[in-house]
């Protein structure tokens, strides 16, 4: 079975340093045998050197985008999860005794007591169903809540409608936050094209390094040869005198 460690080469970053040195040695072999390029040819090699080097820049940009997006995704995720920590507990019937309190008629009860009693019963039912439905939502990996699936607000008592209206508003804001989190999370993912660049970039940078070192050696050889030629006539004149 193939595993990450089964690819022994990429399992250690030291291998890429060794590869760069080996390639540098191999590229130097023609120079050691006197097969050097001209100044103009070495300048053209710069394009090849830069072409391989640019993959390193692109791979850094890909990793930077992914890392920053991942950090922001965690922030957006925690913002979405705050709904479960702040709003959801307020719907817990065991903690919200006001909505499910038992009313008792007395001689001082309002004329519309029957309506108020019905509103409280409906509000208590709304609270329990809403809390039950919202408790089933996966907040660890935030998923959207269907606002239309929430029970209707079938009571009009002013003291009871504030919380349901506020919860509906917060659910809408929570869904927007989930969308932001998901869109940010997508930026952490790499396309097949980007994954290929990230895989081959170290190899191409090794080649770029070897070309750069070989180019420097080749140009130094040319400089030494030109310096020797410039000094040779002077030595010849001195010997003739």
Residue 4 lies in a domain: no
pLDDT at 11: 74
CB 145, CB 132: distance < 8 Å: no
Residue 237 lies in a domain: no
Compute the distance between CA of residue 132 and CA of residue 164 in angstroms, rounded to an integer.
14
Q: In whole numbers, what is the pLDDT of the chain averaged over residues?
A: 85
Q: Per the structure block, which two tokens stand in for 216?
A: 């420097």
Compute the distance between CA of residue 193 and CA of residue 199 in angstroms, rounded to an integer.
10
Residue 240 lies in a domain: no
Indicate if the pLDDT at residue 156 is higher than 80.
yes
- Grouping H, G, I as helix, E, B as strand and the rest as coil, residue 23 is helix
Residue 22 lies in a domain: yes
pTM higher than 0.75: no
User: In angstroms, how far is CA 121 from the centroid of its own chain?
Assistant: 48
CB 199, CB 7: distance < 8 Å: no
Residue 232 lies in a domain: no
DSSP summary character for residue 145:
-
Q: Classify 34 in phi/psi space as left (phi over 0), alpha (psi -120 to 50) or beta.
A: left
User: In angstroms, how far is CA 29 from the centroid of its own chain?
Assistant: 44
Domain, as residue range, for 220: 9-227
Instruction: Give how many domains the chain has, as a whole number.
Output: 1
pLDDT at 234: 57
Indicate if the pLDDT at residue 1 is higher than 70.
no
- Cβ atoms within 10 Å of 39's Cβ, excluding its own: 11
Residue with tokens 């479960």: 84
Residue 14 lies in a domain: yes
123 HSE (CA, 13 A, CB side): 25
Residue 153 lies in a domain: yes
The residue with greater pLDDT, 111 or 157, is 157
Residue 121 lies in a domain: yes
pLDDT digits (tens, 9 = 90+) for 113-149: 888 888 888 888 998 999 998 988 888 889 999 888 8
pLDDT at 108: 61
Residue 152 main-chain phi, psi, to 5 deg? -70, 155
């Amino acid at each position: 079975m193939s595993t990450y460690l089964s690819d022994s080469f990429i399992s250690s970053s030291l291998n890429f340093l060794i590869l760069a040195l080996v390639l540098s040695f191999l590229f130097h072999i023609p120079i050691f045998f006197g097969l050097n390029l001209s100044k103009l040819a070495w300048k053209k090699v710069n394009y090849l050197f830069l072409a391989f080097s640019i993959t390193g820049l692109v791979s850094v940009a890909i990793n930077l985008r992914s890392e920053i997006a991942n950090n922001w995704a965690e922030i957006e995720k925690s913002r979405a999860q705050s709904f479960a920590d702040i709003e959801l507990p307020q719907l817990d019937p065991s903690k919200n005794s006001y909505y499910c309190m038992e009313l008792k008629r007395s001689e001082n009860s309002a004329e519309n007591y029957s309506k108020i009693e019905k509103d409280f019963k409906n509000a208590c039912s709304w609270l329990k169903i809403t809390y039950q439905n919202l408790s089933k939502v996966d907040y660890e990996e935030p998923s959207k809540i269907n606002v239309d699936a929430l029970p209707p607000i079938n009571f009009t008592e002013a003291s009871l409608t504030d919380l349901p209206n506020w919860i509906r508003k917060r659910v809408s804001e929570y869904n927007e936050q989930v969308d932001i989190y998901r869109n940010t999370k997508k930026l952490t993912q790499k396309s097949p094209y980007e994954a290929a660049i990230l895989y081959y970039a170290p190899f191409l940078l090794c080649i770029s390094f070897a070309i750069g070192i070989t180019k420097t050696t080749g140009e130094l050889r040319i400089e030494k040869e030109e310096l020797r030629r410039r000094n040779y006539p002077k030595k010849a004149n001195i010997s003739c005198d």
